[in-house]
Amino acid sequence: MSSSVAVEARDLSKVYKGPKGTTTLAADGVSFSAHGGEVFGLLGPNGAGKTTTLRMLSTVLTPTGGTALIAGHDVVREPDAVRASIGFLSGNTGLYPRLTPREVLRYFGRMYGMSDPALDQRIGHLAGLLGMTEFLGKRCDALSSGMKQKVNIARTVLHDPPVLILDEPTLGLDVLTSRTIVDLVKDCRAQGKCVIFSTHIMGEVSRLCDRLAIVHKGKVQFSGTLAELRGRAGDDLEQAFISVLESVP
């Protein structure tokens, strides 16, 4: 494990304003840190505040309190630099249906400042790695959900960012595509990247995560290694997870 801190959330809070002056506290002082060469799991039930936290890390949302450092850049003060340093994937990051995967990747690559030759080389490499060569020229609206997710993964790692934020990347995918993604996460870890990985699948947590945080009711309720979590419930990860949630008043 590399010792360099790649992601550091410092007391991140997000308050949503609703109609008639109502407010919702989606994240309440979330703090954790993750390092290069590490897969950091972010777990929690639906509505716990995971997606809000990840969106704040990716600068799509601005925190109402606290901040975070990504690869040394502040999410509030240097959002452009943060976005250049991360690859973000979630259920809300779609592809342009009227463009081909090659066009989508070129579009994002150019925005990341990549030169055309370097971009084509990178697209070719990723297409081989993820098995996308056959459908690189087809329109995205003609692709299966598995194919689309592969393109999305390629877009996420296209610019070789030091930090990856993956929000339930295997949701709704078949076993083979899920395996491709899991393998890619392992590769990224081996390359010294920091991967923030949010999932509901305990099998993936046990296979991938080095450390994790459990978020519930907008707060970090547990932060530590897998072994530390397992220790709470006699090696049963799922039971340990539930026990953390149940300990919250």
Partner 1 sequence: MNVRHVSIIAAKELRDVLRDRRTLIFMLLLPIVVMPLIMIGMSKLMMSQHRAKEERELTIAATPAAQTMITALASQWQSDNAWAIRALMARIGFESAAGLKDMARLSAKAQDLRRKSEKQAGTDAATLASWKALRDLGEPERDLLRDMDSVSHLVALTNWVDLDAVRGTDRLPPGVTIPADLPPRLAASRVAGAITSKEKAVHAAVDVVDDYDLLLEQASLSVPITVLYDASQSLSKEAYDRLDAFVEALGRAQVRVRLDEHQLKTGFVKPFELKAANLASDSREIQAVIGGFLPYLIILFCFFGAFYPSLDLTAGEKERFTLETLLLAPVSRLEIAAGKFVVVFLAAVTAAVLTTASMAMTFTHGILPQGTAEAFNLEFQPLALVLAASLIVPVAALFSAMLLGVALFARSFKEAQSYAAPLQFLIIAPAVASLMPDLETEIKWAWVPLMNVSLLMKELLKGNYLWEFYTITLVSMLVLTAVVVWLSSLMFRRESVLMRT
Residue 180 CB, nearest distance to partner 1 (Å)? 20
Residue 54 CB, nearest distance to partner 1 (Å)? 11
HSE-CB for 77 with a 13 A CA cutoff: 7
Contact positions toward partner 1, by CB under 8 A? 17, 58-62, 80-81, 83-84, 86, 88, 90-99, 103, 107-108, 110-113, 155
> Between residues 196 and 237, which has the closer beta carbon with respect to partner 1?
196
DSSP sequence for 115-158: -HHHHHHHHHHHHHHHT-GGGTTS-GGGS-HHHHHHHHHHHHHT
> Between residues 18 and 249, which has the closer beta carbon with respect to partner 1?
18
Residue 98 CB, nearest distance to partner 1 (Å)? 4
> Between residues 63 and 218, which has the closer beta carbon with respect to partner 1?
63
Residue 34 CB, nearest distance to partner 1 (Å)? 19
Identify the three-state secondary structure at position 45: coil
Residue 88 CB, nearest distance to partner 1 (Å)? 5
Nearest CA-CA partner of 60 in 76, 43, 73, 38 = 76
Alpha helices in the chain (DSSP H): 50-57, 79-85, 101-111, 116-130, 145-157, 175-190, 202-208, 226-230, 237-246
Dist. CA 127–CA 17, nearest whole Å:
43
Alpha helices in 9-63 (DSSP H): 50-57
β-sheet bridge partners, residue 212: 41, 224
> Between residues 79 and 131, which has the closer beta carbon with respect to partner 1?
79
> Between residues 112 and 129, which has the closer beta carbon with respect to partner 1?
112
> Between residues 26 and 132, which has the closer beta carbon with respect to partner 1?
26
β-sheet bridge partners, residue 164: 87, 195
Residue 136 CB, nearest distance to partner 1 (Å)? 16
